[in-house]
Structure 1
Amino acid sequence: MKRAVLLGSIYTVAAMLPLAAAAGQATRASFGHTADGQNVEIVTLTNSHGMRARVMTYGAALQSLLVPDRNGKLADVVIGYDTLQGYLDRRQYFGATVGRYANRIAHGKFTLDGKTYNLTLNDGANSLHGGAKGFDMQAWKILDVKAGATPSVTMEYVSPDGDQGYPGTLTVKATYSLSDDNQLKIGYSATTDKPTIVNISNHTYWNLAGEGSGSVMDQELMIPGDAITPVSDAAAIPTGSFAPVAGTPYDFRKAKPIGRDIRDGRSQQLLFGHGYDMNWVLSRKEVEPRVVARVEDPQSGRVMKLWSGKPGLQFYSGNFLDGTTVGKDHHIYRQGDAFVLEPQLFPDTPNHPDFGSARLAPGETYRNIIVYRFGIDAAANK
């Protein structure tokens, strides 16, 4: 691994960016309508160096993100669709906010304060990413759009009591902001009027070489977790135990290419998920935000550092991109063409006391702050 070029603690990319602007900009426009006629808007955030994020209100989703390579050339590092219709036609969680409970709930059931709740099932016998119609399928409302030094957009969705089987009216906010040091920040918060469970994350599919450029298997990943929560079968429900990563294909404590060990047939976990699709244990409780992953593309030099305070990180290597998705600019997405990193609570936490708690009570505020810091490694593969 080559050393990145640093300025203080921030990677120096600003000086290499074209399209300089006097200050950060934020614009909003219509992006189309849902089947029931709801207007979907798209907000474009541009920093003073030309880095650009586009965020749509359908699913409070990151639709695109332009990031420079070592030569200052911008590329979209987020896979997805050019138009709203692609997102409406096929649910793939591209760029989406997922909840109320990101990841899986076994059999769509959990018990809270002595009462059992039954959720909608959308992943075989289980509930995944909030159920049949999670946050990713809702048209969120824009509360605020700001230009200036750090352009941002704040959106809100109010999930009614009983939505997908979850108790309590949950008011959720998502704020995307883009700073001048090329940091994209997503801040999630939620409050409730009844005890409930909450686990919200972002499901962006990344390819640091640029969407449509092919496989991410040579991109180098570091995850500091020393254990995973293994699953029992292809349904991907945790057993409730913790398995050390040392000596296994899941050891990313030192950066390595994503594809280096992905074909290790001795690993039943890889067979279950058709690749990486599991939760890394970063801590046993919530902590102050820290680096939970680092990814580098040796060809372009792009580097992404991911910060969060959540105890778990779901890493998915794009295993079910099967060549039937035609995305942006008519690109076909195939297996391994993108990866997903979701900071969150552990999967199925409400059904595993040793995993901690997902409970949110009235008067409390749920938060998940996710920060993506982009830079370059100027030395790699010039």
Structure 2
Amino acid sequence: MSPSRRTVLASAAAGLAATAAAGQARAAAPAEGNGEGPEVFGHLPDGTEVHRWTLSRGGTRLKVLSYGGIVQSLELPDRDGEYVNVSLGFGTLAPYLTATTYFGALIGRYGNRIAEGRFTLDGTAYQLPVNDGPNSLHGGDRGFDKRLWDVTPNGRSGLTLRRTSPDGEMGYPGTLEVRVDYTLTRDGDFRIDYEATTDAPTPLNLTNHTYFNLGGEGTGSIEDHRLEIAAARYTPVGETLIPTGELARVQGTPFDFRRGKNVGRDIRESHQQLLYGQGYDHNFVLDKGITGAPRHAATLHDPGSGRLMRVDTTEPGVQFYSGNFLDATLTGPGGRVYRQGDGLCLETQHFPDSPNQPHFPTTVLRPGETYRSTTVHSFGTR
């Protein structure tokens, strides 16, 4: 991103307060272009190669795997120009094959939870695999995050990822043709464009599950990050994290991020919703609703490094997940163990369990329609 662009983002976040500095692992400034890919990152159990692609533009370096469409690394400068990877993940392929954390992955067919893995569409009942207690999460135990994608370069600094999801995959109806474009813009923004068509009606809710720590991967808690979410309402959940159907107001609750606050300020309140999620794991209903072009959803700032990220999307919701289930059993590429709250996700999407919540925005895609969704991550410092 050009210095002028970063200054604009800094001005937009002028209300964000400073906190303690975070440690950083330094990396060299990226060269421009599609550069270093594809390289062999590892092999699936059947011997199939998994490739890693590297994109660099506008001061941002992005590394993407053909397995799961995974964002394996995202390198950004701090206020002093020092680069660090700000996304959680692994340094080798093997843990991606078994982990259920969804680090950096494309999520589908349905991002978030569906109650008891059941829904009825046009009078026909469907049963999905349950992989999150009694519910189906992120498309089932072998969702899009556990599939190999066909990856090709797209323009100066972009990748196109494609796959066909056959009829009946993970219990979902219809053959789905999916295209996802990862692009670094001239300013170093990371843009994700989703597109899909189907030959039979099917629920569809695509997203990306990158965990961010703007202080640097493996540097500790994100509770000092300052987060602002443009949402006056959220969808409360029950004990198994399925929405109750209510669109509750955030005012006067720990869920009010409209003016920005530290992630950890209210996270240990005895609010029932925080107890259910062991922190934040909730869908925020964006004030802007569904839009034809990406509009502001959230802004995240790490005062220690100065790094700033703005998220714009066409989606009506964003799932804020504060890394509650990281349990010190996984180790990142820098050799540091991931503990609870060491990263957070801002998953732009439609609402959880929409197939069973008729008053939520519909997620049904039908033949002759084209699913389109765009999310842009813009980066800067202050």
TM above 0.5: yes
Equivalent position amino acid for 1:28 in 2: P
Query: Does residue 312 in structure 1 map to residue 320 in structure 2?
Result: no
Please tell me whether residue 43 in structure 1 is matched to residue 53 in structure 2: yes
- Aligned partner of residue 273 in structure 2, secondary structure: helix
Which residue, out of 283, 286, 290, partners 1:286? 290
**Superposition map of 1:1-382 within 5 A:** 9=8, 19=29, 21=31, 25=35, 27-47=37-57, 49=59, 51-142=60-151, 144-146=152-154, 148=156, 151-233=157-239, 235-265=240-270, 267-283=271-287, 285-287=289-291, 288-377=293-382
Structure 1 SS opposite 2:162: strand
Cα distance in structure 2, aligned partners of 1:198 and 1:362: 13
Q: Residues of 1 paired with 2:217 and 2:288: CA distance?
A: 34
**Structure 1: how far apart are the matches of 2:35 and 2:154?**
8
How far 1:85 moved relative to its partner? Answer: 1.0
Residue 11 of structure 1: how far off its partner (Å): 5.6
Distance 1:147 1:358 in 2: 31
Helix, strand or coil: the match of 1:214?
coil
- What amino acid is the match of 1:248? T
What code does the residue aligned with 2:187 have? Answer: D
Percent identical among aligned pairs is: 48
| Separation (CA, whole Å) in 1 of partners of 2:41 and 2:28 | 26
Structure 2: which 5+ residue stretches go unaligned?
12-26
Deviations 1:61-101 (A, max 9, x none): 10000000000000000011011112113221000011100
1:30 match: secondary structure: strand
Q: Which amino acid aligns with 1:221?
A: L
Q: CA deviation at 1:240?
A: 0.7
Moved more, 92-101 or 326-335: 326-335
Letter in 2 for 1:40: V
Q: CA deviation at 1:19?
A: 3.7
Equivalent position of 1:380 in the other structure: none
Change in CA separation of 1:8 and 1:320 when aligned onto 2, cut-off 3 Å: closer
Please report how far the alpha carbon of residue 38 of structure 1 lies from its aligned counterpart in structure 2 after TM superposition: 2.4
CA positional deviation for 1:179: 1.8
| More displaced 10-residue stretch of structure 1: 160-169 or 319-328 | 319-328
Q: Cα offset for 1:7?
A: 6.2
* Secondary structure in 1 matching 2:167: coil
Task: Say if 2:234 and 2:283, in contact at 8 Å, map to a contact too.
Answer: yes
- What is the CA distance between 1:285 and its match in structure 2? 4.6
Relative distance call for 1:141 and 1:124 in structure 2 (3 A) is same
> Partner amino acid for 1:38?
T
Instruction: Give the letter aligned to residue 349 of structure 1.
Output: S
Distance 1:72 1:239 in 2: 46
Q: Distance in 1 between matches of 2:87 and 2:5?
A: 25
8 A contact 2:63–2:71 mirrored in 1: yes
Deviations 1:124-182 (A, max 9, x none): 1110000121000001111x21453xx01111111100001100001111111112212
Deviates further, 297-306 or 109-118: 109-118
Normalised by the length of structure 2, the TM-score is 0.91
Query: 1:292: how far off?
Result: 0.4
Residues 197 and 220 of structure 1, relative CA distance in 2, 3 Å threshold: same
Give me the whole-angstrom Cα distance separating, in 2, the residues matched to 1:30 and 1:117.
38
Deviation at 1:27, TM superposition (A): 2.5
8 Å CA contact retained: 1:43, 1:54:
yes
Per-residue displacement from partner, 1:165-206 (whole Å, max 9, x unpaired)?
Answer: 100001111111112212011111111011111000000000
Instruction: Let me know the Cα RMSD of the aligned residues.
Output: 1.9
Is the CA contact (8 Å cut-off) linking 1:153 and 1:176 kept in structure 2?
yes
Measure how far apart 1:30 and its partner are.
1.3
Distance 2:277 2:119 in 1: 24
Cα pair 1:78 1:206 within 8 Å, conserved:
yes
Q: What amino acid is aligned across from residue 71 of structure 1 in structure 2?
A: D
**Paired residue type of 1:53:** L
Verify the 8 A CA contact 1:32 1:40 in the aligned structure 2. Answer: yes
Q: Secondary structure at the match of 2:334?
A: helix
How many residue pairs get aligned? The number is: 364
Letter aligned with residue 145 of structure 1: P
Cα distance in 1 between the residues matched to 2:158 and 2:290: 26
Distance in structure 2 (CA, Å) of the matches to 1:354 and 1:192: 23
Instruction: Please say which of residues 322-331 and 66-75 is displaced more in the overlay.
Output: 322-331
* Aligned-pair CA distance for 1:21: 4.0
Unaligned regions of 5+ residues in structure 1, if any?
378-382
Residue 260 (structure 1) shift:
0.3
User: Which letter maps to 1:111?
Assistant: T
Cα contact 2:55–2:184 (8 A) shared by 1: yes
